[in-house]
């Protein structure tokens, strides 16, 4: 599973749109689109923000999937 696939899975489990994820995380909508498409590697700060918003406790897994 890629980082983008994991974020999409978590987002859908929480019934959250990309727009809502963008608003809650403070990350631009277009950047989130690039991240879930695995086009851009997110910063560590962005990953931690997404983990917090998605209420995902295993931020280390997200960091690993993103290549950190």
pLDDT in tens, the chain (68 residues): 999 999 999 999 999 999 999 999 999 999 999 999 999 999 999 999 999 999 999 999 999 999 99
**Structural domains of the chain ordered from first start:** 3-65 (1.10.260.40)
39 CB contacts (<8 Å, ≥6 apart)?
none
Q: Are 44 and 67 contacting, i.e. CB atoms less than 8 angstroms apart?
A: no
Residue 13: per-residue pLDDT: 98
Residue 7: per-residue pLDDT: 98
Residue 47: per-residue pLDDT: 98
- Coil, helix or strand at residue 58: coil
Cα separation, 30 vs 4, in Å, equals 13
State the pTM of this model: 0.93
């Amino acid at each position: 599973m890629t980082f983008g696939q994991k974020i999409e899975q978590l987002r859908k489990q929480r019934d959250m749109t990309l727009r809502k994820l963008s608003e809650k995380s403070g990350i631009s909508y277009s950047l989130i689109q690039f991240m879930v498409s695995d086009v851009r590697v997110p910063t560590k700060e962005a990953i931690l923000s997404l983990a917090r918003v998605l209420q995902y406790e295993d931020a280390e897994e997200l960091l690993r999937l993103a290549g950190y």
